[in-house]
Amino acid sequence: MKQHHCWPLLLAAFFLSPVLPAAAQPNRPNPASANPASANPASAKAKDSSYIAQLLDSAANLRERSLYDSATHVGTRALQQSLLLRDSFLVAMSCYDLGQTAQSANHKQAALAFFQRALSARLEKDQSANTAGVYNDLGYLHGTMGELDTQRDWYLKAMRLYDKNGDSSGMAQTLSNLSGSSLELGHKKDAIDYALKALAIREQSKDYEALSLSCNNLSQIYLQSDSIELAIHYQQEGLRYAGLSGSKRRLAQSYVSMALLMSTQGKNKDALEYEKKAIAICRENGDSIMLARRLISAAILTSHLNDPQGALSLFFEAEQLSKSLKDKYNLRDLYLYRTIFFKERKDFFLAYENYKQYVRYKDSIIDAETNSNIAEIQARYETEKKDKAIDDLRASEKIKDQQLQLARQEKTILIGGSILLFIIGGFISNRYQLKRKIQQQEALLEIRNKIARDLHDDLGSTLTSIQILSQVSRNHLDKGQTETYSLLQKITEQSRQMQQSMSDIVWAIRSDNDKVENMIVRMREYLAQTLEAKNIQIGFQASEELLGYSFNMQQRKDIFLIFKEAVNNAAKYANCTHMDVSLRRCDNRIVLEMKDDGVGFDPETVRSSNGLKNMKARAASLKAGFHIESAPDLGTTVRLDLPLTT
């Protein structure tokens, strides 16, 4: 997904724009003229409204094609025109449209601000189907932030309002969203019930495109519930409805869902045929963004079918298309999968060349996201600073007279008391400086001792092990290459671990790493280094509320080492395919959660694991809660609950 740097400036302008008084809600005009001008004021307003409606329709079409920058510019023009008309309904709908674009572009805070503005400008008062639409999108948005309870509250508000307004289509959409939310919480039965209710509503309305989407969703739910026959049945129904809808894009998405279903069952040949059908539609529709993704998927399937030349041809076409689109996310994924392709074929030179490209694009994306988030926060800060300056100015006017009166009274007292205060202040200052110096020396001594212990424990034991392995490998030189190679591999691995330990210690000591943002970047890097090489999918979410918060040296070291131990355990023992990591704020606490879908274990039977003991000990030193939830075949969740005041 591309980065869109126009959002921070747009967000600042949004907060500074005036809130218009509510007016009577107009019917949304049909687009008739793009030139809003007329001698008749009523006619001019109608044409202006028609022009705004055209802009909003255009923004929706651009958003559908993933052209978020263009959609943002068009939506901004609609908002500006609505403000000039002083039409609260059109202001609300323009903000709603901009919120949907921001949400599609993954700019969560901007989307949240626009949705709230849409409600305050008019829609909260109206309690219309449009209001329910905002509620529904707010639910989805909070879900992407990991706030699942808040997500369900918004969905239920949307359902009640859709029911009140008799909007069956909106009701079906929210039921589908509740289905997805329930599935994410692990409530598969509830997910199926909500999805079937949505399907029943859509069957009555004969909305074939929506029916196709409902069937595809049901297929995925049944697939995760190991009900293969039902998954296949609903996926076939989804294909049928997609064909009846006449929507080529919906048909292509159904082919992709069928390909995923076939691939999950190991039917790579069938999966490839469905991918080819989706590719043909993308070429016909000129949908370059979707086409690039499908080409990568087809290349992977072709590789699994032992057609390396065919796979390389598809990879090459995807690469050229992604470069023309300047799609960094696509290029990052392409180079990763091509690295795996060459590695499996023992072509380590080309594997390494592709891996370098993968790292380059991955780092570029991380830098762009960080810069965008910082700019967005800066815009919000500037707005709040201006508001505060206005409040301070008003307050200063009220107390100006009181300050003048107090100044006259204090003048006499100040002269007599200043001499005494000077003497007392000097004495207190000397004692404070001495006490502070002693405390600083004690703190430095403790840091030095801590570093020494870490170096002795981590590096001393590793160097001793390397020395022993070196001696043993020298003794085995004449006995056999296999045993010697194995020992040298252990030496290499322990050297790498020692290097990583040194890196962790140096990173924790540096004072410029105390911000949460730096820890997030390091966590992302470690996840990529440890899990992506094992083809483990990664989900990472960090709450923007934590940006700017700081940890001291000991806190960030203990938190990172707990995180690192959990990731290592998942990589080595869990045999997982996916791992989710979230760092978020809940009330006055910071929660770090790491969840994998691996084989799991019984925590009650594990007594001697040094890794688990170390994590618990580090959590105790942080005065934080530490919980491990796991069971055989049900994955593992590790959660650290840290007080904000710690």
176's tokens = 């589908």
Spatial separation of the C-alpha atoms in residues 272 and 194, rounded to whole Å: 32
Q: How far is it, in rounded angstroms, from Cα 383 to Cα 354?
A: 44
552 alpha-carbon distance from chain centroid? 25
Mean pLDDT within 424-443: 68
Identity of residue 70:
S
CA atoms in the 13 A half-sphere facing the CB of 569: 25
pLDDT (0 to 100) of residue 515: 78
In CATH terms, the superfamily for domain 515-646 is: Histidine kinase-like ATPase, C-terminal domain (3.30.565.10)
User: Is the pLDDT reported for residue 22 higher than 60?
Assistant: no
Q: What percent of the chain has pLDDT over 70?
A: 70
pLDDT at 18 over 80: no
- Would you kindly state where each structural domain of the chain is located, as residue ranges? 515-646
Mean pLDDT of the chain: 78
Cβ pair 56, 75 in contact under 8 A: yes
- Whether residue 19 has pLDDT greater than 70: no
pLDDT in tens, 185-238: 788 888 888 888 888 888 888 888 888 888 988 888 888 887 888 888 988 898
Strand 636-643 and strand 625-630: the pairing is antiparallel
CA–CA dist 202, 193 (Å, integer): 14
- Nearby residues of 393 by Cβ (< 8 Å), 6 or more positions away: none
**Phi then psi dihedrals of residue 508, to 5 deg:** -70, -30
What is the rounded average pLDDT of the residues 615-626?
A: 90
The closest alpha carbon to 84, from 176, 20, 1, belongs to 20
Our CA angle for 153, 158, 161, nearest 5°, is 130
- Cβ atoms of 642 and 590 closer than 8 Å: yes
| DSSP character string of 469-496 | HHHHHHHTTTT-HHHHHHHHHHHHHHHH
What secondary structure does DSSP assign to 191-206, as a single string?
HHHHHHHHHHHHHHHT
Is the C-alpha dihedral spanning 39, 41, 42, 48 positive or negative? Answer: positive
Q: For residue 424, is pLDDT > 90?
A: no
Pull the structure tokens for residue 384: 């709040």
For the chain, percent of residues with pLDDT exceeding 90: 27
Residue 9 has pLDDT above 60, yes or no: no
Tens-place pLDDT, residues 559-573: 888 998 999 888 888
Phi, psi of 553 (to 5 degrees): -60, -45
* pLDDT exceeds 80 at position 336: yes
More confident residue, 87 or 38: 87
Residues 167-196 as b or e (16 or more Cβ within 10 Å = b): beebbbbbbbbbbbbbbeeeebeebbebbe
| 453: number of Cβ within 10 Å | 10
The owner of tokens 């072709």 is: 302
What is the Cα–Cα distance from 135 to 117, expressed in whole angstroms? 13
Whole-number pLDDT of residue 131: 93
